[in-house]
Amino acid sequence: MNLVFLGPPGSGKGTQAERLAEKQSLPHIAVGDLLREEVRKNSETGQRIKAVMEAGNLVPDEVTITLTCSRITQPDAQKGFILDGFPRNTVQAEALDKRLKEENKMLNRVVYFDISEEQIVNRLSGRRSCKKCGAVYHLQFNPPKNENVCDKCGGELYQRADDAENAIRTRFAVYRQQTQPLIDRYKREKILVNVEAGKDIKEVFAELLLAIQYGS
């Protein structure tokens, strides 16, 4: 199963991808995590993209396309993958199609996480992420057992710089302008499935399992 998770920031893509990856032994490829890792390492790429990410804008296509296309061709992704946060615009979608075609592969489903912006603001302001393993929590909706400590690896939890109010506004605007149009593209290709992402985490997961198996 080659899957793409598409939806606004904070719609729960990472949370659900983490669960699905575990259940179906598929790699969860979170492009935002790959980029944050470059920033953390302070690599040349990391230095170039840090300010862009903190402001909530998209990093240059050539960076995300190179990172993603090389990641999806690694051995652990041969039996399938969950691509979370890519593509985010038409250029990226075309690059992904081209790369998959070269490998004689295709996308099986694109899952659209459907949710109102009102709910999202709440989610993003309470989000906490693990510095070490990237696991995602919410102070109210999915709290860790011990405050500021990751249940999975004991790493320290932090609030992402781009979860500040200004950056959230920019990310919504970027999503509406550049990413939302992809919904129609995948609808036309008849691979789009909808999940009502405003429900609680368990309900969304149940709907996700049905949607990837039977469509929506």
Q: Which residues are catalytic?
A: 13, 88, 127, 160, 171
Among 72, 85, 142, 195, binds ligand AMP (CB under 6 A): 85
Please choose, out of 29-37, 38-46, 104-112, 116-124, the segment that lies near ligand AMP by the rule CB under 6 A.
29-37
Through-space distance between the first and last CA atoms of the chain, rounded to whole angstroms: 16
Residue-wise DSSP of 62-77: HHHHHHHHHHTTSGGG
Q: Which does 72 bind (CB under 5 to 8 A by kind): ligand AMP, ligand ADP, none?
A: none
111 forms beta bridges with 5, 193
- Rounded Cα distance between 172 and 165, Å, is 11
Number of residues engaging ligand AMP in binding (CB under 6 A)? 17
- Cα 15 vs. chain centroid, distance in angstroms? 9
Least separation in angstroms between CB 75 and ligand ADP: 25
CB 196 within 8 A of CB 99: no
Q: Measured from the CB atom, is 113 or 206 closer to ligand AMP?
A: 113
Q: Which does 205 bind (CB under 5 to 8 A by kind): ligand ADP, ligand AMP, none?
A: none
Task: Pull the structure tokens for residue 53.
Answer: 């990410």
Q: Which of residues 53-82 bind ligand AMP (CB under 6 A)?
A: 53, 56-59, 64
Q: Which of residues 125-164 bind ligand AMP (CB under 6 A)?
A: 162
How many residues are present in the chain? 216
Least separation in angstroms between CB 114 and ligand ADP: 12
183: which residues sit within 8 A by CB, 6+ positions away?
6, 112, 192
Q: Which of residues 133-172 bind ligand ADP (CB under 6 A)?
A: 136-138, 141-142
Among 6, 9, 82, 109, binds ligand ADP (CB under 6 A): 9
Q: Which does 127 bind (CB under 5 to 8 A by kind): ligand ADP, ligand AMP, none?
A: ligand ADP
Q: Which of residues 117-136 bind ligand ADP (CB under 6 A)?
A: 123, 126-127, 136
Residue in the block written with tokens 């690599």: 43
Q: What order do you get walking across the sheet with 81-84 strand by strand?
A: 28-30, 81-84, 2-6, 109-114, 192-196
Is residue 109 close enough to count as binding ligand ADP by CB under 6 A? Answer: no
Q: Exposed, middle or buried: residue 44 (CB in 10 Å: 0-12, 13-18, 19+)?
A: exposed
- Residues forming the site for ligand AMP (CB under 6 A): 9, 31-32, 35, 52-53, 56-59, 64, 85-86, 88, 92, 162, 171
